[in-house]
């Protein structure tokens, strides 16, 4: 009992007179207004409920397309070469050379050319 | 002091021998020939010099040709010269004495020349990478030549030979052939070797496997008197 008495005496709001009628009414109006707005928003969202599965289906379809494209690129085996070979006529082979001596002592130095034409 | 004298004597001996060797060499005789698988119709036109005849006789068994015909002859010191070949084809010959470029590096024997001999068709590419661009250019020119020949044939049928239009076409064909030859020009020979004074070295080139014809150069280092 004594404890209860102490608490009542120590309560700072116990001696507060509370809101006057005007402020109490303003607060009540405010609460009612917020409550009304909270009940109208789900109605708007429920109007777009069908968009959600379509968005999910679209995302899945996009993932599927990307996967198919990557798969075909990797598995065809017709990948483009890292370099393009030059045409055959562009490659010039170095000439081959032969040096020897005849029994008579004359030296012969002969060069073989792939493209020689006389 | 004794070492210094020995060194001086060695240097003097080296200089004297070099000067002696160089004094004995007077120049190069260059004879440009074509070797052919077919025998010569009217005999050969080889020069009578016994050294040249001997050199050709020596190499006859080693080369697959039955006849030789002289295109051009040239007397030259070191340096370059132009020589005429078949069908107005010109060749550039260049002879360099390595002892001029590197006089103090390992000269083998006195009286022996270290020669760099080069032969190329006139207008040959100076840079190796140029070959590809030139082959593409030649292909374009060949197309133009084919079109020009067809045009000339039509004109000949229409107006007859000797007509100014036909003559003009012929001249354009000749010019184009000359340009194609210049674009297709190759470096043929680039060899370095030693040769004694008075020696004849046979330098030549042909297709791989010999071909029907080969270009032969008889290079003789001629002794001075």
Q: Is residue B59 in some structural domain? A: yes
Both B175 and B149 in one domain: the answer is yes
The least confident of A18-27, B8-17, B180-189 is: B8-17
What is the pLDDT at residue B107? 61
Computed over every residue of chain A, the mean pLDDT equals 78
Q: Are residues B95 and B141 in the same domain?
A: no
Q: Residue A85 pLDDT > 50, yes or no?
A: no
- The answer to whether B30 touches B179, Cβ cutoff 8 Å, is no
Residues B189 and B174 in one domain: no
Q: What is the pLDDT of residue A1?
A: 64
Nearest residue in A to B202, CA atom:
A108
The pLDDT, as a whole number, for residue B197 is 86
ipTM higher than 0.90?
A: no
> What domain count does chain B have?
2
Same domain, B86 and B193: yes
For residue B12, being part of any structural domain is answered with no
Average pLDDT over chain B reads 82
Poorest-confidence range of B3-7, B80-84, B114-118, B160-164? B3-7
CB pairs under 8 A between A and B: 92
More confident residue, B11 or B141: B141
Half-sphere exposure in the Cβ direction for A105 (13 Å, CA): 8
pLDDT of residue B46: 78
Mean pLDDT of B18-35: 74
Does any CB of chain A come closer than 8 Å to the CB of residue B62? yes
For residue B69, list chain A residues with Cβ-Cβ distance below 8 A.
Answer: none
Which regions of A1-118 does DSSP assign to beta strands (E)?
96-101, 107-113
Q: What is the pTM of this model?
A: 0.59
> pLDDT higher for B87 or B18?
B87
**Pick among A113, A114, A115, A117 to test the B interface (most B CBs inside 10 A):** A113
The pLDDT value given to residue B21: 47
- Is B4 a member of any domain? no
* pLDDT for B22 beyond 80: no
* pLDDT over 90 percentage in chain A: 18
Same domain, B120 and B212: yes
Q: Are residues B81 and B172 in the same domain?
A: no
Q: How far is CA B160 from each of CA B60, B119, B170, rounded to the nearest angstrom?
A: 48, 43, 13
In this predicted structure, the answer to whether residue A11 has a pLDDT above a threshold of 80 is: yes
pLDDT at B180: 87
CA pair distance A110, A100, nearest whole angstrom: 9
pLDDT of residue A81: 47
- Spatial distance between the Cα atoms of A62 and B133, rounded to a whole number of angstroms: 48
DSSP B76-139: E-SEEEEEE-GGG-EEEEEEEEHHHHSTTS---STTEEEEEEEEEETT--SSTTHHHHHHHHHH
- The average pLDDT across A3-18 equals 82
**Residue predicted with more confidence, A18 or B145:** B145
What is the mean pLDDT of the segment spanning A36-56? 74
User: Is residue B197 within 8 Å of residue B89, measured between CB atoms?
Assistant: no
Q: Which of B201, B210, B219 is the best substitution to test chain A (most A C-beta atoms within 10 A)?
A: B201
Task: Note whether residue B16 is domain-resident.
Answer: no
**Is B9 part of any domain?**
no
Q: Which domain holds residue B193?
A: 25-124+185-223
Of chain B, the percentage scoring pLDDT greater than 70 comes to 82
Both B120 and B199 in one domain: the answer is yes
Chain A partners of B54 at a C-beta cutoff of 8 Å?
104, 106
With a CB cutoff of 8 Å and minimum separation 6, the contacts of B32 are B70, B71, B72, B73, B74, B83, B85, B91, B93, B215, B216, B217
Q: Which pLDDT value is given to residue A73?
A: 74
Whether residue A13 has pLDDT greater than 60:
yes
- pLDDT for residue B92: 92
Length of chain B counted residue by residue: 225
B89-93, B109-113, B188-192, B217-221: range with lowest mean pLDDT = B109-113
SS3 A28: helix
Residue B43: pLDDT band (50, 70, 90) is: low
Does B194 reach chain A within 8 Å, measured CB to CB? no
């Amino acid at each position: 009992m004594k404890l209860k008495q102490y608490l009542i005496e120590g309560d700072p709001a116990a001696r507060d007179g509370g809101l006057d009628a005007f402020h109490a009414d303003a607060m009540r109006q405010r609460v009612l207004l917020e409550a009304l707005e909270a009940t109208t928003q789900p109605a708007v969202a429920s109007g777009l409920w069908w968009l959600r599965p379509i968005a999910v289906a679209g995302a899945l379809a996009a993932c599927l397309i990307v996967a198919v494209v990557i798969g075909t690129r990797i598995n065809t085996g017709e990948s483009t070469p890292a370099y393009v070979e030059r045409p055959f006529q562009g490659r010039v082979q170095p000439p081959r050379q032969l040096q020897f001596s005849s029994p008579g002592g004359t030296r012969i130095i002969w060069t073989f050319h792939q493209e020689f034409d006389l | 002091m004794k070492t210094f004298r020995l060194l001086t004597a060695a240097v003097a001996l080296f200089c004297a021998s070099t000067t002696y060797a160089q004094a004995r060499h007077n120049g190069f005789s260059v004879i440009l020939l074509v070797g052919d698988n077919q025998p010569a119709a009217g005999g050969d036109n080889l020069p009578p010099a016994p050294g040249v005849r001997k050199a050709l006789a020596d190499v006859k068994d080693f080369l697959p040709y039955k006849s030789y015909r002289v295109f051009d002859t040239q007397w030259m010191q070191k340096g370059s010269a132009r020589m005429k070949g078949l069908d107005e084809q010109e060749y550039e010959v260049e002879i360099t004495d390595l002892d001029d470029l590197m006089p103090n590096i390992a000269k083998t024997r006195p009286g022996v020349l270290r020669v760099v001999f080069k032969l190329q068709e006139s207008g040959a590419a100076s840079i190796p990478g140029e070959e590809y661009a030139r082959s593409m250019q030649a292909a374009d020119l060949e197309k133009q030549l084919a079109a020009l020949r067809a045009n000339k044939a039509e004109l000949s049928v229409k107006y007859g030979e000797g007509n100014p239009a036909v003559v003009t076409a012929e001249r354009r064909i000749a010019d184009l052939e000359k340009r194609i030859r210049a674009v297709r020009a190759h470096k043929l020979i680039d060899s370095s070797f030693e040769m004694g004074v008075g020696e004849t070295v046979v330098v030549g080139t042909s297709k791989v496997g010999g071909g029907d014809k080969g270009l032969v150069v008889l290079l003789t280092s001629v002794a001075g008197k």
